[in-house]
Structure 1
Amino acid sequence: MIHHVWGLFTHPDQEWRQIRGEEESIGHMYLTHTLILAAIPVISAYIGTTQVGWVIGDREPVMLTHGSALWMTAMSYLSMLLGVAVMGGFIHWMARTYDATPSLARCVAFATYTATPLFLGGLAALYPHMWLGMLVGTAAISYTVYLLYVGLPTFMNIPSEEGFMFSSSILAVGLVVLVAIMAFTVVLWGIGIGPEYTS
């Protein structure tokens, strides 16, 4: 797992070719990569929101209660795991349009590896400062999009022109999934299952 993470940042083209040659089960992918990396942002956010807090103006730091942060951490973790599965399923379904025949497990692997910068960028949540979050978040999203557009043609073994269209479709669906998760969060907050702050 770690060598692929390092390779995606140092030589992505070569790493995508190596990943393409591997065949992993969905369970193995989740156990060795997805479950571990998805824990980075949620654990960081739990620590940041309960131990550090965020400052608004000259006020004291605002922090969440441990119970509230734990609940939000669990929901965020499940959302990320589900999001990877949904994206892998969409990639598998869409691949037929481009005459590619990857297995569902390989599509979930592609979704997981593509999301790696987002997972690692979650370390910024240890210090929940707005500007740090925006800076790291922008960099993580940018590199994730780069990995998607560079990696898809190689991983699916399709021409780069088709890869561009395929990648754009995946990006659009990813944004829809993100908005759906945010909307679900708003609904939960609306029925009273929201954050609780320390006094």
Structure 2
Amino acid sequence: MDFTKLIERVKNILLTPKTEWPVIGAETTTVADLYKNYILILAALPAIFGFIQGSLIGTTIPFVNISLKVPVGIGIAQMLLTYGLSLGLMYVLALIVDALAPSFGGEKSLVQALKTLAYAWTPAWIVSVLGIVPAIGMLAALAALVYSIYLLYLGLPHTMKIPKERSGGYTAVTIIIGIVLSIVVGWVAAMFSGVSAYSARALQGQIGAIGIPAEAGKDTSLAKVEAWGEKMEAAGKKVEAAQKSGDGQVQAEAVGQLIGAALGGGDQVEALAPDALKPFLPESLAGWKRTAFSAEQNGAMGMQMSVATATYAGEDGKALHLEITDVGSAKGLLGLAGMANVQSQRESDDGYEKTWKENGRLVNEKWDGPSRRGEYSIILGDRFTVELSGTVDNIDQLKSALAGLDLAGLEALKNQGVKRG
């Protein structure tokens, strides 16, 4: 790693972008080299300084002068997970930018697309160090975002070879899709916020997932992402054909399908209808009667998600809350997170929390002694999350109740609604 070259590139892209982009566009490199020599280093800054601010410095609540800190173990977990997902997000967005290039009169090239995103996002990465000073950090982050958009606008004609007059539209579409993907990644990271440690194998899985050579074989993370890329290319051709049709409705549907394919790991995924989830929330659970039920499906721009919830009443005013979520179109990113062999355990005087893999399923268990409240959740088929929580005598009561659900039947539906790319 040549830090002199990295610093020089950062300086040039920030200070003299109009002369630096032609140089970048003409350079020969690879996806692996872009990650190893630039992205892996700069993308670590937001994760590291976010950990410093959240777990070491803390967040002060105005007027009451109280500082809240995320426990160090959880903070480290969030740092590593956010970092890994951000690396995957960069690759997925590059696939989309590459697929959309012909629609704007450009040339397809995954390497050039990744170049564009990495160098355009430099201001946001650099400014993240100011996040430890919230008042300044927020304003700086906003300014960096605006400048990153400007850099993207300047760079696309040089990297993706599009006409300059079409750079504005290409930039706008890229930013919108990037925001959508970032929201989904944030949601996925929040789901795994209880994880406090990654094994070396987990980190290797993340690196494999972003295209840096890992072990060979059809079942490796690298092979899976390469297959994802092939499906994205097919979706991009549909967008190109829709662009030529001149039909706005057809174009919108094609872009929506492209986003859905990106989130679905290369496949288009239609979340289960609410009625399909209802049978997995029985009228009684471990002898407790169901007193409330709701189910809904939401979707936009090629994404869909379904959630079903139920409440069960027991003795002495106690209640259990069951929630089943079909992440639908986000199963690709959930699978990306699941590629890591994660596990953690932490204890206190009041309770504990632990996460582990069991029979290929990610399981999370929480217990708070003073309140006698517990949570037990499981992820099935990298698509369905099942969480049971409530005030009970002990955690085994939750485990026994959840074991009474038809988990195998739900997991068997993991490919339902999946349209292979």
Q: TM-score w.r.t. structure 1 length?
A: 0.88
Deviation of 1:188 (Å): 4.3
Correspondence for 1:81: 87
Equivalent residue of 2:34, what SS? helix
Equivalent residue of 1:55, what SS? strand
User: 1:77-116 maps to which residues of 2 (within 5 A)?
Assistant: 77-116=83-122
Equivalent residue of 1:61, what SS? strand
Which of 116, 133, 139 is 1:135 aligned to? 139
* Residue-pair matches, total: 192
Correspondence for 1:157: 161
- Residue 175 of structure 1 aligns with an amino acid whose one-letter code is I
Correspondence for 1:69: 75
Which of 179, 184, 191 is 1:180 aligned to? 184
Deviation of 1:85 (Å): 0.4
Aligned residues with identical type, % of pairs: 25
Q: Does 1:26 align with 2:27?
A: no
Q: 1:8, 1:66 → 2: CA distance?
A: 35
- Residue 105 of structure 1 aligns with an amino acid whose one-letter code is V
Q: Which moved more, 1:136-145 or 1:174-183?
A: 174-183
Q: 1:121, 1:102 → 2: CA distance?
A: 31
Highest RCO, 1 vs 2 (Cα 8 Å, sep ≥ 6): 1
Correspondence for 2:222: none
Correspondence for 1:10: 15
RMSD (CA atoms): 2.1
Deviation of 1:142 (Å): 0.7
Deviation of 1:158 (Å): 2.3
Q: Deviations over 1:142-171 (max 9, x none)?
A: 111111112212322322221111111111
Q: Which has more strand, going by share of residues? A: 2
Q: Which has more helix, going by share of residues? A: 1
Structure 1: give runs of 5+ residues left out of the alignment.
none
Deviation of 1:60 (Å): 3.3
Q: 1:157, 1:93 → 2: CA distance?
A: 13
Deviation of 1:100 (Å): 2.3
Q: 2:20, 2:108 → 1: CA distance?
A: 17
Q: TM-score w.r.t. structure 2 length?
A: 0.43
Structure 2: give runs of 5+ residues left out of the alignment.
1-5, 197-345, 347-421
Preserved CA contact (<8 Å) 1:13 1:154: no
Q: 2:155, 2:111 → 1: CA distance?
A: 16
- Residue 94 of structure 2 aligns with an amino acid whose one-letter code is G
Correspondence for 1:169: 173
Correspondence for 1:48: 53
- Residue 54 of structure 2 aligns with an amino acid whose one-letter code is T
Q: 2:68, 2:104 → 1: CA distance?
A: 50
Equivalent residue of 2:68, what SS? coil
Q: Deviations over 1:97-123 (max 9, x none)?
A: 234224212211111111111111210
Larger radius of gyration: 2
Correspondence for 2:206: none
Q: 2:187, 2:69 → 1: CA distance?
A: 23
